[in-house]
Structure 1
């Protein structure tokens, strides 16, 4: 359910469970963790199959404690620590705990019509520990509270205006845009990329 594709220095990880809106299971988190544990690529793209990037955690597994699985934090921490550029190429709506994967990336592109929400207040769960701070760093504390406390559903245009995503693309142009942003990194030395990321913080 996680497709791993390597093309030179570009690593692409694809959520492929469209019949369940790419809802994440413990097995999928384990697969993501394993894929991120190897030698760091020159660039990383995270995307999905279908019209939804991810509906968040699989609700059946949430009843068995998936929301408290430390793998969520390990996966997002691994993405955030990558010494290469990372892009979430969001092929559709992003919801719930899956938002942590995108928040950990350096850049986020989304297709027209994508929506963004994190319904922890309504469902009675806590967000993953690192997600609120990463969200607030991108869009500010008040807007982070709109999403986490008020349950706001944000359209793509508003998400871009807030700084949650950097670019809106037509669905057929999403991966082309993501790959184009990686061209310079794929031609650079790994140490150079890591040094620039460290300067940005």
Structure 2
């Protein structure tokens, strides 16, 4: 069989769990998928991440992937494009969160060090607060606030209906605010972003 027409057989083997067949699909399509990713993100590292995610999703969803004209490449290209767009939105939100954090106009080295430590502590407190939430609630918060998904789009990703996801998200925001306390005003943006989703 030539490389041009043997992909359906390789895909069949991959669907049956053959790592060797999946590696062959990766070898054939990684460059095209990576090129699509680099056209959509600013950094090579982000393109590499998006490519890895696309292939991970191909493996994870192999039983339901739609093959077009005997190849999985179209599915991979759509998946990497969606992943790259989500990365860009997440990056924009993260930069907005950092930009929204108050900064003194001029600070000496000591002030800079204190501000860096405060930011690090806030990050640790946020991670700890998210870790105390139910895994689905934490995922809903990050999918809506950082990845920019609507509640309706995020709900099926965590195995919930949209109405249940809205209720859980509201409770999770309330608990996160309570856990972080009133001395964490920088986190307001993170929670508000999810509320608009």
TM-score of the pair, normalised by structure 2: 0.22
Of Structure 1 and Structure 2, which has the larger fraction of its residues in strand? 1
